[in-house]
A and B are shown apart, each in its own frame.
Chain A
Amino acid sequence: AQTVTQSQPEMSVQEAETVTLSCTYDTSESDYYLFWYKQPPSRQMILVIRQEAYKQQNATENRFSVNFQKAAKSFSLKISDSQLGDAAMYFCAFSDSNYQLIWGAGTKLIIKP
Chain B
Amino acid sequence: EPEVTQTPSHQVTQMGQEVILRCVPISNHLYFYWYRQILGQKVEFLVSFYNNEISEKSEIFDDQFSVERPDGSNFTLKIRSTKLEDSAMYFCASTGTDSYEQYFGPGTRLTVT
Contacts of A30 in B (CB 8 A): none
In the complex, whether B65 has a CB less than 8 A from a CB of chain A is no
Q: How large is the interface on B (under 10, 10 to 19, 20 to 34, 35 or more residues)?
A: 20 to 34
The residue that A100 contacts in the complex, of B33, B91, B101, B107, with Cβ under 8 A, is B33
Q: Is the CB of B45 within 8 A of A101?
A: yes
Contacts of A95 in B (CB 8 A): 100, 102
Chain A: interface secondary structure? strand
In the complex, whether A103 has a CB less than 8 A from a CB of chain B is yes
Q: Mark B29-50, 1 if CB is under 8 A from A, else 0.
A: 0010101010001111100100
- Distance from B68 Cβ to chain A, minimum over Cβ atoms (Å): 19
Q: Mark A30-59, 1 if CB is under 8 A from B, else 0.
A: 000101010000111111001000000000
User: In the complex, what distance in Å separates the CA atom of A104 from the CA atom of B33?
Assistant: 18
Contacts of A75 in B (CB 8 A): none
List 9 additional contacts besides A43-B109, A45-B107, A101-B43; criterion CB under 8 Å.
A35-B101, A43-B37, A43-B106, A45-B43, A47-B103, A95-B100, A98-B55, A101-B35, A105-B42
In the complex, whether B56 has a CB less than 8 A from a CB of chain A is yes
Return 27 A-B CB contacts under 8 Å, by A number: A35-B101, A43-B37, A43-B89, A43-B106, A43-B107, A43-B109, A44-B104, A45-B43, A46-B104, A47-B101, A47-B104, A50-B101, A95-B100, A98-B56, A99-B33, A99-B102, A100-B45, A100-B56, A100-B58, A101-B33, A101-B35, A101-B93, A102-B45, A103-B43, A104-B42, A105-B41, A105-B42
Q: How large is the interface on A (under 10, 10 to 19, 20 to 34, 35 or more residues)?
A: 20 to 34
In the complex, whether B76 has a CB less than 8 A from a CB of chain A is no
Q: Is the CB of A91 within 8 A of B100?
A: no
Shortest Cβ distance from B102 into A: residue: A101
Contacts of B89 in A (CB 8 A): 43
- Take A43-B107, A45-B91, A98-B56 as given contacts and tell me if A103 and B44 are in contact as well, using a CB distance cutoff of 8 Å: yes
